[in-house]
Every structure is written in C-alpha cells, then in structure tokens.
C-alpha cells in the first residue's frame, strides 16, 4: 500500500537515525568530561578536536537533523495513510528529501572539519563556515518542500471528498507542517539577510541582537514542531494501541489549532536577558507562553482519559487499577507512555523557567539542558522510538527483531533520563553550574557539584546503552531474513463520540488569519524597532576551539 | 465493567490531572524557594 511513500519514509527515518547515532554518541562523552574523564584528546586522531565540536555535533545532529528527518518522513506517511490517498506529487516529496540530504552534507562537513563549532544555536558573533549556514538553510527549505507535497495531497483529497471531515491524523499532521512553514520565516530571514552574507564576507559585521530575535522567532516553535508529531501519535494512534478510543476528538483538533495560533509569538521568553528587547514585549510573550499551558493541559487530560478507556476495556478496575491493565508488554506503547511521563516533568520545568525571575537565575545553567532532555530528548525522541517499533517493521515488512530488547530500551531510557535530568536541574538551580561549558577543567567548579555531576554522568551512560539497544533492534529488524506474515496497519484511534467535530474545527482560514495577526501584533513593533536601529557592527569570531 | 460504571467519567484521569497540578505547584514552589534562599536575583 502506497509503496512510494513507504520507501520515502524509510529513507527519511534511516538518515535521521544515522544522524542520531553519531550525535547521540557525543552525549556520554560530555557527561564524562564533566566528571573529569576527558576523552577528547584521545579522539583527536578521528577528527574530534574539542568538547565544543562534540557539543555542536550533538546539538545539530540530534536536535535539528534527527528530528526534522523523522518528522517530515513520519508526517508524510501519516497524511497519506490517514487520507487513504497516495501523494499527488511524489517527485516533489522526493525533491524535499534530496534537498534535505544535500543540506545535511553541506552542514555536516564543516562541523566535522571543526570549521563550524558554533553549537546548534549558532548565535552570532560566533561565526562558522558559510557552508554550515547554507546547509542548514537547505534542510529547512527541504522540509518546506515536503510540507508542500503534503498540502497538495491534502488539497486533492479535499476536492475529491467535499463536505467530508478531514481525518484527525491528516489534519493534525498538516497543521504541524503549516505552523513550521510560518515559524521558519524567522530563521530563513536570519540566514539569508544577516548570517550568510556576513559569513561570506560580503558585509563586515552583524547585528547579534536582531539575529537572535529572528532565531527565537523560529527557535521556540521548533519545540512544537518536534512535539506535535508526538502528539499526532499520542492522540491519533496510542488510544488504538491500548484498545481504547480517543476521549474527545473535537478537543484534540482544538488543541492543534491552538498550537498553530500560540506556538510562534512566544520566542522572547528565550530573550529575557537581552537588553535591547523592551520589558513590555517580554511580558507579552511571557503571557502568551503561559497560554500554551492551556492546550498542554487539555492534551494531558484527553490522552490519559483515552488510555483510561483502553485500560478499563482491558479489564482494569478501580480509580487507577486500569493503568496496570495497559499493554506494558507492547514496546511501542511503553516507550510512548514513558515518554509522556518524562515530558510531564519537562512541562513543569518549562513552566518554571518561563517565569521571569526564575529565568534570570537558571537561564545559562545546567537547568536548561536538563529541561531540554526531558522534552526533546524524551517526550519527543522516546516517542519517536515508540513509533519506530511499529513503523520500521511495517516499512521493512519484517517483524521487530526483539520485543524484549525494545522494552529494555524504553525502560533504560526512562531511568537514564530521570537520573541525568534530575542532576542537571539541581546543578542549575541550586549551584548555578553553567551550561555549554567544559566543567571538568573549570577552575570555579565546586566539589559540591560532584555528586550531581556523577549522577548525570551515570544517566548519560545508561542513555548511551539504551541507544545501542535501539540501534540493535533497528538493524536486527531491517536485516532480518524473516518477513511479516500479516501486514502491520498504522494504528488509527476511533473517537469515543462518533459524531463529526464542529465545522469550525475543520476550517483553516480563521485560524491562519488569527495566527498571522497575533504574530504581527506580538513581533511587529519590536522588529520594526530593531530593524530601524540596525547595527551591522559586530565582526565574526571563529576558530575559537 | 458493570461494577465499574461509576468510573464511566474518567475519574482516574481527573485524579491524575489533579495530582499533576499539585506536583506543578510543589516543584515550582520549591524552585522559587530555592531561588529566594540563594538570594533571589539580587547581587
């Protein structure tokens, strides 16, 4: 079924997983460095020059490449299977893949040659090889093209099915890609107008403040670009996997529209410390950031209720007894449920660090990577692993290599991440230990940090082992000689209430217009101000490490 | 399922969400108190 999209999705996932393997391998090295085990000198022979080069590889390949490739592949697959209609322009979707791969190679080569050690946020005035920026830009452009392929397919389906409500999974996938198209206008502007001409030497200086503002225009919604595909699975697939139904489909649709509306005009909560951003705009973005708590809590309620339906249908009784009745022997479910639990803690950390005064204390500390690993490193990545446990066997037409190994993988990721993130959060909050820093050689490092750094390192090592278990399973599946006796179907949750959702939850125009208006109101005056006071004065700093 | 009728409304979910809200208040409050104990954002 839909052979073209199966192959395409397989390639997207494959490239993403290779990226995660390389990027993930850097993680335990960082944690070991923090406890004084510096392996970087020994790795110079293989081209790893410094902690900071490793950190750049870790961030770029994990946070940018693994996620984007998996998401574009998964959402394309989900759209086609949800609409039960093949891609209208498969060549366009393949073009998306090739553009992304070309971009990846262009960005990866300078990173591996240590000419782009600027971390994944690439804040100017740190300056990398222009190929790094052009490569990342192509990855984004490729993801846009993938989105266009999805939109055209959705549009064709709409023409063929007038008056029919869009299936939830297809709608949610397309809203996610629409949000991404709007959100990435910030980083596209930053790259094309400011950074690339500057890195090519066409202009002498850059305005770091304006560049950072454009970066965070995209930089926070990118979190939702990572997260919403996980929500597609949690809402649209997990209820089916647990034998339940989606508790409220209208509420699920509303949540996705709210994320379209609210994901973007919140970036300034990453810039509370930036002196050129007036406090008033920081307050506006802080309020909008907290408004994201509404769809988040609606999500928690709706998904847990859907699982409760499943648990009770499987014989679970009592107030919470249904939890034990859930299919904990299914690694796809277990990985995703553990991801949800870790993400719940990530959400609490996110709420906390979005408050202005606490943000002043923890912003540049280990708290942030602790939070980040609970969200993108767990809520997102562990969910993607859970999806891979049914999707890769389906794509390869082979059974999962080992259920048991997959279950161990999920639980070890859970345990490793709990240890690591707990250590990092406390280091940041209680001790102000800086992030993005070689703590192993920091003269100001306190002996009080040591137990927590050891805890984090232990967590990092467990995560490394867990990652190896994942790749063992993926390779074992793909290279297995067995074939499936029965095709795996994409799990699609039925709604508890079979009546269609209200029409306003299947209508694009008002939501897109409201999104654009809210962005213009929340970002427009600030951007006009920053642009009219443009200061292209800062030279680039490169070859620092 | 008959004896479980009273759980038709997702009461387990409501309990978990209430627990989550309590956790948010507790952990956020704890972080805030830690910040104050460190001298807040002054100095």
Which of these is catalytic: A34, A58, A371, A425? A371
Find the closest chain B residue to A367 by CA distance: B31
Per-residue CA distances from A15 to A8, A73, A100, A432 (Å): 11, 10, 10, 37
Closest CA to A50 of A150, A117, A136, A106: A117
Per-residue CA distances from A267 to A126, A183, A195, A220, A221 (Å): 21, 10, 19, 5, 8
Contact B16 A304 (CB under 8 A): yes
B1 touching A (Cβ < 8 Å): yes
User: Residues of chain A with pLDDT > 90: what percent?
Assistant: 97
Q: How far is A358 from chain B (nearest CA, A)?
A: 7
Reported as type and span, the H/E element at residue A67 is helix A67-83
Q: Helix, strand, or coil here: A534?
A: coil
Confidence of residue A3 (pLDDT cuts 50, 70, 90): confident
**Tokens representing A483?**
């074939």
B26 touching A (Cβ < 8 Å): no
Q: Would you tell me how many other CB atoms lie within 10 Å of the CB of residue A273?
A: 11
Helix, strand counts (H, E) of chain B = 1, 0
Which residue among A301, A311, A352 places its CB closest to the CB of B31? Answer: A352
Which residue among B7, B12, B24 places its CB closest to the CB of A351? Answer: B24
**Tokens representing A57?**
């590889």
Residue located via tokens 């796809």: A332
Q: How far is B38 from chain A (nearest CA, A)?
A: 8
Contacts of A17 (CB under 8 A, 6+ apart): A66, A70, A388, A471, A474
Burial class (CB in 10 A: 0-12, 13-18, 19+), A376: buried
pLDDT for residue B41: 60
Size of the A and B interface in Cβ pairs below 8 Å: 64
- The reply to whether A312 belongs to the active site is no
Contacts of A250 (CB under 8 A, 6+ apart): A501, A502, A505
Confidence of residue A1 (pLDDT cuts 50, 70, 90): low
C-alpha span between A319 and A323 (Å, rounded): 9
Confidence of residue B7 (pLDDT cuts 50, 70, 90): low
- The reply to whether A324 belongs to the active site is no
pLDDT for residue A108: 97
Which of these is catalytic: A270, A285, A373, A425? A373
Reported as type and span, the H/E element at residue A418 is helix A403-431
C-alpha span between A471 and A167 (Å, rounded): 33
Q: Helix, strand, or coil here: A76?
A: helix
Contact A430 B15 (CB under 8 A): no
CB A370 within 8 A of CB A441: no
pLDDT in tens, A465-501: 999 999 999 999 999 999 999 999 999 999 999 999 9
Q: Would you tell me how many other CB atoms lie within 10 Å of the CB of residue A58?
A: 20
Q: Is the pLDDT of residue A47 over 80?
A: yes
Chain A hits for B7, CB-CB cut-off 8 Å, are: 308, 312, 317-319, 322
Chain B hits for A355, CB-CB cut-off 8 Å, are: 28
Q: Is the pLDDT of residue A14 over 90?
A: yes
Residue located via tokens 């049914």: A390
CB A169 within 8 A of CB A82: yes
Q: Helix, strand, or coil here: B23?
A: helix
A235 touching B (Cβ < 8 Å): no
pLDDT in tens, B12-36: 999 999 999 999 999 999 999 999 9
pLDDT for residue B6: 54
Residue located via tokens 């956790």: B23
Confidence of residue A532 (pLDDT cuts 50, 70, 90): very high
Mean pLDDT score, A281-293: 96
Q: Is the pLDDT of residue A77 over 70?
A: yes
Q: Helix, strand, or coil here: A368?
A: helix
Measure the N-to-C terminal CA separation of chain B; round to a whole number of Å: 61
Q: What's CA A101's distance to the chain center, in Å?
A: 18
Mean pLDDT score, A276-293: 95
Mean pLDDT score, A103-124: 96
- The reply to whether A285 belongs to the active site is no
Q: Would you tell me how many other CB atoms lie within 10 Å of the CB of residue A117?
A: 24
pLDDT for residue A35: 96
> Which structural domains are found in chain A, ordered by start?
3-532 (1.20.210.10)
Sign for the pseudo-dihedral over CA of A452, A457, A458, A462: positive
pLDDT for residue A4: 80
pLDDT in tens, A331-369: 999 999 999 999 999 999 999 999 999 999 999 999 999
Q: Is the pLDDT of residue B43 over 60?
A: no
pLDDT for residue B33: 94
- The reply to whether A436 belongs to the active site is yes
Contact A320 B15 (CB under 8 A): yes
C-alpha span between A374 and A520 (Å, rounded): 31
- The whole-chain average pLDDT of chain A stands at 96
C-alpha span between A256 and A258 (Å, rounded): 5
ipTM passes above 0.95:
no
Chain B hits for A297, CB-CB cut-off 8 Å, are: 17
- DSSP state, A437? S
CB A543 within 8 A of CB A52: no
Report A:267-306 residues touching B (Cβ under 8 A).
Answer: 297, 300-301, 304-305
pLDDT in tens, A362-413: 999 999 999 999 999 999 999 999 999 999 999 999 999 999 999 999 999 9
Mean pLDDT score, A439-462: 96
Confidence of residue A544 (pLDDT cuts 50, 70, 90): confident
The residue among A272, A317, A319, A446 with the most chain B CBs within 10 A of its CB, best to mutate, is A319
- The reply to whether A499 belongs to the active site is no
- DSSP state, A86? -
CB A541 within 8 A of CB A127: yes
C-alpha span between A509 and A500 (Å, rounded): 19
C-alpha span between A150 and A89 (Å, rounded): 9
B35 touching A (Cβ < 8 Å): yes
pLDDT for residue B4: 54
Chain B hits for A272, CB-CB cut-off 8 Å, are: none
User: Residues of chain A with pLDDT > 70: what percent?
Assistant: 99
Mean pLDDT score, A166-183: 98
The residue among A293, A312, A364, A496 with the most chain B CBs within 10 A of its CB, best to mutate, is A312
List, in sequence order, every residue forming a beta bridge with A499; answer none if it has no partner: none
List, in sequence order, every residue forming a beta bridge with A246; answer none if it has no partner: A495
Q: Is the pLDDT of residue B5 over 70?
A: no
Q: How far is A12 from chain B (nearest CA, A)?
A: 36
C-alpha span between A311 and A306 (Å, rounded): 9
Per-residue CA distances from A226 to A177, A249, A276, A372, B17 (Å): 11, 21, 29, 12, 24
């Amino acid at each position: 079924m839909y052979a073209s999209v199966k192959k395409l999705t397989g390639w997207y996932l494959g490239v993403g997983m290779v990226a995660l393997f390389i990027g993930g391998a850097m993680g335990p090295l960082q944690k070991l460095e923090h406890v004084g085990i510096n392996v970087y000198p020994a790795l110079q022979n293989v081209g790893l020059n410094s902690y900071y080069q490793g950190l750049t590889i870790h961030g770029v390949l994990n946070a940018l490449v693994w996620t984007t490739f998996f998401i574009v592949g998964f959402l394309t697959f989900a759209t086609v299977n949800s609409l039960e209609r093949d891609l209208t322009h498969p060549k366009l979707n393949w073009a998306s893949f090739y553009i992304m791969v070309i971009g990846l190679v262009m960005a990866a080569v300078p990173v591996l040659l240590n000419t782009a050690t600027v971390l994944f946020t690439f804040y100017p005035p740190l300056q990398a090889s222009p190929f790094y920026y052009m490569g990342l830009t192509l990855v984004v452009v490729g993801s846009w093209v993938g989105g266009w392929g999805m939109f055209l397919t959705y549009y064709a389906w709409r023409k063929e099915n007038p008056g029919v409500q869009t299936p939830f999974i297809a709608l949610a996938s397309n809203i996610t890609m629409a949000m991404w198209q709007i959100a990435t206008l910030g980083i596209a502007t930053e790259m094309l107008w400011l950074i690339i001409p500057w890195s090519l030497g066409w202009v002498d200086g850059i305005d770091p403040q304006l560049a950072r503002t454009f970066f965070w225009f995209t930089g926070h919604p990118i979190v939702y670009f990572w997260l919403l595909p996980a929500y597609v699975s949690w809402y649209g697939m997990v209820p089916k996997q647990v034998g339940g139904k989606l508790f409220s489909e209208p509420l699920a649709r509303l949540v996705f529209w709210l994320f379209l509306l609210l994901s973007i005009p919140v970036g300034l909560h990453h810039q509370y410390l930036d002196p050129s951003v007036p406090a008033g705009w920081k307050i506006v973005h802080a309020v909008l950031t907290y408004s994201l708590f509404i769809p988040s809590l609606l999500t928690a309620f709706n998904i847990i209720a859907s699982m409760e339906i499943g648990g009770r249908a499987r014989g679970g009784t009592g107030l919470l007894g249904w939890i034990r009745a859930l299919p904990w022997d299914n690694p796809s479910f277990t990985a995703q449920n553990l991801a949800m639990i870790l993400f719940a803690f990530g959400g609490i950390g996110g709420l906390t660090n979005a408050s202005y005064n606490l943000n002043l204390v923890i912003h540049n500390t280990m708290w942030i990577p602790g939070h980040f690993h609970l969200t993108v490193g767990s809520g997102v990545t562990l969910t993607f692993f859970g999806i891979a446990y049914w999707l890769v066997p389906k794509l390869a037409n082979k059974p999962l290599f080992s259920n048991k190994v997959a279950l161990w993988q999920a639980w070890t990721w859970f345990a490793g991440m709990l240890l690591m993130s707990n250590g990092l959060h406390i280091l940041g909050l209680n001790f102000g230990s800086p992030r993005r820093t070689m703590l192993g050689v920091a003269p100001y490092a306190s002996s009080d940090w040591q137990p927590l750094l050891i805890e984090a390192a232990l967590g990092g090592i467990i995560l490394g082992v867990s990652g190896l278990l994942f790749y063992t399973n993926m390779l074992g599946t793909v290279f297995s000689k067995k074939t499936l006796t029965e095709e795996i179907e994409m799990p699609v949750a039925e709604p508890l209430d079979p009546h269609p959702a209200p029409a306003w939850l299947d209508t694009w125009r008002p939501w897109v217009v409201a999104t654009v208006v809210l962005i213009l109101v929340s970002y427009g005056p600030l951007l006009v101000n920053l642009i009219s006071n443009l200061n292209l004065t800062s030279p680039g700093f490169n070859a620092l490490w | 399922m008959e004896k479980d009728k009273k759980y038709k409304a997702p009461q387990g979910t409501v309990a978990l969400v209430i627990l989550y809200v309590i956790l948010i208040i507790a952990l956020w409050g704890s972080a805030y108190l830690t910040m104050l104990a460190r001298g807040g954002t002054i100095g």
